[in-house]
Amino acid sequence: MSTSVTVDDRLIQTLRESASTVFLTGAGVSAESGIPTFRDAMTGLWSRYRPEELATPDGFERDPELVWRWYEWRRGIVSETDPNPGHHALRRMQHGLTTSLLITQNVDGLHQRAGSEQLIELHGNLFRNLCSRDMHPVMTEEWVPGNPPRCPRCDSLVRPGVVWFGEMLPPDAIESARQAAMSCDVFFSIGTSAQVYPAAQLAEIALGNGATVVEVNPEPTTLTRYADFVLSSPSGAALPEIARRLGPN
Ligand code: OAD
């Protein structure tokens, strides 16, 4: 699908002059890699469950094996996919800009696989596993096998290293993200419905600090009316065009 994207010259000029640029990404960036968004993922085998039943501490306590198998299923889907042009364009832009930070709500690890480095994973990572008692990382090669496996140190159940509904975000991650939003010159909101807090608060903080706000989303969101620049295009088309206009990296 060829999507011609028009990028305002003023945006490119603003980006070139930006001393600090923040990119916030959501499920829309990974949708073009074929990963169903959080709510679309409940297809087929899992259609009889609601995310709130599986991606929650109560859901895990109620049926740890069901929740573990669901995450194994999601990891299988993500392992079959690749970063798309939007992920690669973000890495190129980060290399070309003075200072930039990529903050993602996605747990699929595709930004890392595209080579992005200055990265904060607000909601954790599908491929990380933790001891459910002390939340310390548990490596695959050390756990006691099972569905779910058990912690080799205390025999507690192992859980996925993602933020569940009703859980706090990693304090250092959200604090660093807030600081970056408070001091950036340009803030991108890409592929997110901007509905889920505290991530959605970052755009508000950026607006409050007088940053130039850019939204990349084929659909309008609650942020659209406040954004300085709105690219109503898929991120896989818009981001490579911005990267191209910014220059080689
Ligand atoms: P959503 O599913 O809420 O929103 C995805 C957004 O991506 C929508 O606004 C779509 O219009 C947009 N979109 C779809 N395709 C796109 C494309 N090709 N390019 C650009 N945008 C596109 O996903 P998030 O906003 O990421 O939290 O959801 C935030 C959080 O809610 C998730 O991290 C998850 C969920 O509960 C946890 O798991 C803790």
Mutate to test the pocket of ligand 1, among 192, 232, 241 (most ligand atoms within 8 A of CB): 192
Atom 7 (ligand 1) nearest CA: 28
Would the CB of 28 count as within 6 Å of ligand 1? yes
What average pLDDT does range 62-88 have in this prediction? Answer: 95
DSSP string, 214-235: EEE-SS--TTGGG-SEEE-S-H
What average pLDDT does range 138-158 have in this prediction? Answer: 97
CATH superfamily of 36-80+127-162: SIR2/SIRT2 'Small Domain' (3.30.1600.10)
- Above 90 in pLDDT, residue 222? yes
Separation of CA 32 and ligand 1 centre (Å): 12
Per-residue pLDDT band for 124 (boundaries 50, 70, 90) equals very high
- Above 60 in pLDDT, residue 41? no
Same fold, 1-34+83-123+169-249 and 36-80+127-162: no
Distance CA 51, CA 47 (A): 10
8 A C-beta contact, residue 86 and residue 23: no
pLDDT of residue 43: 59
H or E element at residue 92: helix 85-96
For 89-125, b/e burial (b = at least 16 CB within 10 A) is bbbbbbbebeebbbbbbbbbbbbbebebeebbbbbbb
In tens, the pLDDT along 194-205 reads 988 899 999 999
- Above 50 in pLDDT, residue 1? no
Per-residue pLDDT band for 230 (boundaries 50, 70, 90) equals very high
Separation of CA 203 and ligand 1 centre (Å): 15
pLDDT of residue 196: 85
Separation of CA 180 and ligand 1 centre (Å): 21
Q: Among all chains, which residue has been given the structure tokens 């548990």?
A: 138
Q: Please, what is the average pLDDT of the chain?
A: 92
Q: Where are the domains of the chain?
A: 1-34+83-123+169-249, 36-80+127-162
- Above 60 in pLDDT, residue 45? no
pLDDT of residue 98: 84
Q: What is the Cα 39 distance to its own chain's centre?
A: 15
What percentage of residues in the chain have a pLDDT greater than 90? 82
- Using alpha carbons, select from 236, 212, 247, 237 the residue that is nearest to residue 226: 212
Separation of CA 129 and ligand 1 centre (Å): 23
Q: Which atom of ligand 1 is nearest to the CA of 216?
A: 20
Would the CB of 196 count as within 6 Å of ligand 1? yes
Q: Among all chains, which residue has been given the structure tokens 């890495």?
A: 91
Lowest-pLDDT range of 47-51, 52-56, 108-112 = 47-51
The pTM of the full predicted model, rounded to 2 decimals, is 0.94
What average pLDDT does range 168-177 have in this prediction? Answer: 95
- Above 90 in pLDDT, residue 248? no
| Domain 1-34+83-123+169-249 fold | Rossmann fold (3.40.50)
What average pLDDT does range 141-167 have in this prediction? Answer: 96
What average pLDDT does range 109-132 have in this prediction? Answer: 96
Strand pairing class (124-131; 158-162): antiparallel
Q: Which atom of ligand 1 is nearest to the CA of 191?
A: 21
Distance CA 162, CA 125 (A): 5
pLDDT of residue 50: 78
The set of catalytic residues is 123
Q: Strand, coil or helix: what is 40?
A: coil
